[in-house]
């Protein structure tokens, strides 16, 4: 099967359903991060572009993606992967034009796929015009756009984030003869949000991109907007005031669009970024602590780290949602684990020092799990069933590898692998022109790890991913339901239910799904106690098979294989737990109000179709 640039629609034979109005879309969505530079090159210059991404949208629709997340594509010197912005209002020439971007949004929307972007608000590049004006004309209109000081001894309680490369949060500027403040790289000066003109300028940037049709944006590095002496300069009240004002503007002028907080903080602090029902802030926030605990639990072969992290996760306001992920364009950060846990995880997942970056691991999902198909399925099933909207990373659906011989985070930012042809089908350019080389390692070589090969293989990881995304879409309890841990007798087993009650405000059909995971490499038998569901039947959501029901005493015994899992839907209390038959609801006659037609014949329900049993 060939995936030529301009023929994907005929290959996948998809339609264009368009977007449907759904105020809760972000709470049920599966997001997919795409590096524009790394996905598809349409003009043969060796770097991905908007046109190439447009040509691959049918693949993403076929996969079952609800929303694309695009990291920065703005004009930039690219010293930090585009997070060092030189101009908020233009895009990199190699990616295309603003018109190309608007066409991308339009084409994605036509396929029922939404688009969000990254907006680094905390800082700019030192090549931004605002910074040039600020350093050269201290008394000019941009003189106070950045945080300047005559001394580098202010805000000493603020930690240094990039400990591998930075020795201070202050850098001396030889032009202005003062120090400027930066929480990240020294070529990324922080904006001064104490200046109302900076806030006004950022609001204008946000409005500009929302006017281009995007469905929301990820507010990058949001905890660091303000500084205050005697604090760690993170999560300050002024930051929350800014977000409340920003949310009010978005809700008023762009209803249905979302703000996603990127705050790598403990859950009790991150929850503040949702605001309150009366004064909302962000619609979503990333749940950073759960991600490393999933990896830790998998190697420790115990469910306790996940259970404890979920127990420590505070409740969030109605209408808010967590964002969860396994991997993305950054390193797998280990800031949210203890020193002992960090050492263990580095030993398990990054034994070579080249696999490490800052306080984390710069590897893709498949190499992290040593290309174990069972573990990849297990951890993805965890991601898709725990509370939150999952964010997938491009290429992980085919088990792409990484290249630890490349610098810094480039290890996991290599070109998407489409087929076994030259440059993995990513580009027609001379291989030497590619922005990064394609992966050619023994295990993850693009000759056998690519979309074309896995599309032709019905039992491939790609087809498995597509299937499980489809199953998740058919069960809104995964996105909207409450989470409740269920105690299991085996320490390697994690069990919980996702419950969507009757009369839920979203208007979805009620359902309860029992999720059970064996984190051990060995088979295990376990008992779970669910007295509130005594005598209820169970049905597998994948194939519709009937499982032995919960006992009259509320106990259920399950046997799971190595790295095995079940998603089991609790059947209606009136159903016969041992019977595979489903009784359809009686249908009201449209011709004679109040008169019922006879019940329809019974049938065997399949995954996602069982309504009442």
Q: Which of 84, 262, 272, 330 is catalytic?
A: 262
Give which of 94, 146, 88, 145 is closest to 118, Cα–Cα.
88
Element (H or E) spanning 61, and its range?
Answer: helix 57-63
Residue entry with tokens 């194939």: 543
**Known catalytic membership, residue 220:** yes
DSSP 264-275: -S-HHHHGGGGB
How far from 77 is each of 38, 44, 208, CA to CA, in Å?
17, 21, 22
- Structure tokens of 397? 């659906």
Give which of 334, 45, 302, 405 is closest to 163, Cα–Cα.
334
Distance CA 476, CA 478 (A): 5
Give which of 492, 298, 293, 452 is closest to 377, Cα–Cα.
298
Distance CA 320, CA 442 (A): 44
Q: Which of 220, 272, 499, 610 is catalytic?
A: 220
Distance CA 517, CA 375 (A): 11
Strand order in the sheet with 332-333: 332-333, 360-361, 356-357
- Structure tokens of 570? 């609790």
Answer for the pair 216, 172: CB distance below 8 angstroms, yes or no: no
Phi/psi at 117 (5° precision): -125, 165
Our measurement of the distance from residue 523's CA atom to the centroid of its chain's CA atoms, rounded to an integer in Å, reads 31
Q: Could you tell me where the DSSP H helices lie in 372-440?
A: 373-385
Give which of 387, 411, 388, 391 is closest to 401, Cα–Cα.
411
Burial (Cβ within 10 Å: 0-12, 13-18, ≥19) of residue 360: buried
Distance CA 506, CA 23 (A): 9
**Known catalytic membership, residue 335:** no
Summary count for the chain: helices (H), strands (E): 18, 26
Catalytically annotated residues: 220, 262
């Amino acid at each position: 099967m060939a995936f030529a640039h301009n023929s994907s629609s005929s290959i996948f034979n998809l339609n264009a359903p368009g977007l449907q109005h759904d105020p809760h879309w972000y709470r049920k969505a599966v997001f997919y991060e795409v590096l524009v530079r790394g996905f598809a090159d349409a003009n043969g210059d060796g770097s991905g572009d908007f046109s190439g991404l447009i040509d691959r949208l049918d693949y993403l629709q076929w996969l079952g993606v609800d929303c694309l997340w695009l990291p920065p594509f703005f004009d930039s010197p690219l010293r930090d992967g585009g997070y060092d912005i030189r101009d908020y209002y233009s895009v990199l020439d190699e990616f295309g034009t603003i018109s190309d971007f608007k066409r991308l949004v339009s084409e994605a929307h036509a396929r029922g796929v939404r688009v969000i972007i990254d907006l680094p608000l905390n800082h700019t590049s030192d090549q931004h015009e605002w910074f040039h004006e600020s350093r050269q004309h201290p008394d000019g209109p941009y003189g106070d756009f950045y945080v300047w000081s005559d001394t580098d001894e202010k805000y000493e309680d603020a930690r240094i984030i990039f400990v591998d490369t930075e020795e201070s949060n202050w850098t001396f500027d030889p032009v202005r003869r003062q120090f400027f403040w930066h929480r990240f790289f020294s070529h990324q000066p922080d904006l001064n949000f104490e200046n109302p003109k900076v806030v006004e300028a950022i609001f204008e940037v946000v409005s500009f991109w929302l006017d281009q049709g995007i469905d929301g944006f990820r507010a990058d590095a949001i905890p660091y907007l303000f500084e205050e002496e005697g604090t760690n300069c993170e999560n300050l009240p002024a930051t929350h005031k800014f977000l409340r004002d920003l949310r009010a503007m978005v809700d008023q002028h762009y209803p249905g669009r979302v703000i996603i907080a990127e705050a790598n903080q403990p859950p009790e602090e991150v929850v503040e970024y949702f605001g309150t029902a009366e004064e909302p802030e962000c619609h979503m926030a990333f749940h950073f602590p759960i991600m490393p605990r999933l990896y830790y639990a998998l190697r420790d072969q115990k469910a306790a780290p996940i259970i404890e992290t979920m127990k420590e996760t505070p409740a969030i306001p109605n209408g808010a949602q967590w964002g969860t992920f396994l991997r993305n364009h950054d390193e797998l950060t280990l800031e949210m684990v203890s020193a002992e846990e960090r050492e263990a995880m580095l030993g398990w997942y990054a034994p070579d020092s080249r696999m490490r970056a800052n306080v984390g691991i710069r590897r893709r999902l498949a190499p992290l799990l040593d290309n174990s198909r069972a573990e990849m399925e297990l951890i993805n099933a965890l991601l898709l069933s725990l509370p939150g909207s999952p964010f997938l990373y491009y290429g992980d659906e085919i088990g792409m590898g990484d290249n630890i011989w490349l610098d810094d985070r480039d290890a996991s930012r290599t070109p998407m692998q489409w087929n076994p042809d030259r440059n993995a089908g990513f580009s027609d350019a001379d291989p030497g022109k590619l922005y990064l080389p394609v992966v050619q390692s023994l295990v993850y070589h693009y000759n056998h790890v690519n979309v074309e090969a896995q599309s032709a293989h019905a039992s491939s990881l790609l087809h498995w991913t597509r299937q499980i995304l489809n199953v998740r879409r058919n069960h809104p309890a995964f996105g909207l339901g409450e989470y409740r841990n269920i105690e299991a007798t085996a320490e390697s087993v994690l069990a919980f239910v996702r419950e969507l009650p009757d009369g839920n405000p979203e208007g979805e059909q009620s359902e309860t799904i029992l999720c059970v995971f064996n984190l051990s490499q060995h088979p295990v038998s376990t008992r779970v106690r669910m007295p509130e569901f005594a005598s209820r039947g169970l049905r597998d959501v994948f194939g519709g098979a009937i499982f032995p029901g919960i006992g009259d005493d509320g106990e259920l015994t399950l046997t799971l294989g190595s790295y095995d899992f079940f998603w089991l839907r609790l059947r209606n209390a009136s159903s016969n737990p041992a019977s595979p038959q489903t009784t359809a609801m009686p249908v009201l006659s449209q011709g004679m109000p109040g008169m019922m037609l006879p019940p329809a014949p019974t049938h065997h329900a399949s995954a996602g179709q069982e309504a009442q049993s």
